[in-house]
Amino acid sequence: MRNTLLYLVLLSSISICSAQQEVDQRQIIGILDRQVIDWNAGKIDAFMQAYWPSDSLMFVGRSGITYGYQATYENYLRRYPDRETMGTLAFTYQEINFPAPDLAFIVGKFHLARPQKGDASGYFTLLWRKIKGQWLIVCDHTSS
């Protein structure tokens, strides 16, 4: 009887964790979908709302590591000064994991359709953290 009760408690805990992960995954995918919409509307400032507004934000790209929200934002503005350069963004997701209740790890692919500039594509790895109830990107590693 005692073992059965313990089993039921563990099973319900697993179900609750799994259900929460599904909710968290939907929230994160929703944020990424919003990023695509904002990017394709030319709104880099709105696209950046998914990032942690902190000096500790880390962005790893072709030219190395950038620390901080403001520096990351300025890099986006410099690299994508107009709609032609920004192109049309699409994301696909390869893997989504939750190593802890307040952490998410996503591997995906991006594609920028840019008829005049030439298309660009590559992979990204995003580390998300739930901070004050909100999922935010705390580390972005993007390579093309």
- Per-residue pLDDT reduced to its tens digit, 90-140: 999 999 999 999 999 999 999 999 999 999 999 999 999 999 999 999 999
* Confidence (pLDDT) at 144: 87
The CA R_g of the chain, rounded to the nearest whole Å, is: 18
3-state SS, residue 78: helix
Q: 71: pLDDT confidence band, cut at 50, 70 and 90?
A: very high
Report CA 75 to chain centroid distance, whole Å: 17
Predicted structure pTM score: 0.86
> What tokens appear for 17 in the block?
């964790």
Give me the helices (H) in the chain, please.
2-40, 44-47, 69-79, 83-86
Q: Are strands 88-100 and 58-61 parallel, antiparallel or unpaired?
A: unpaired
Query: What residue ranges define each of the domains in the chain, with the CATH number in brackets?
Result: 2-143 (3.10.450.50)
Pairing between strand 58-61 and 103-113? unpaired
Percentage of the chain modeled with pLDDT above 70? 88
Find out whether 53 and 72 touch, Cβ atoms under 8 Å: no
- pLDDT tens readout for residues 28-46: 999 999 999 999 999 999 9
| Band of pLDDT at residue 3, cut at 50, 70 and 90 | low
With residue 44 as reference, give the H or E element that holds it. helix 44-47
The pLDDT assigned to 1 comes to 52
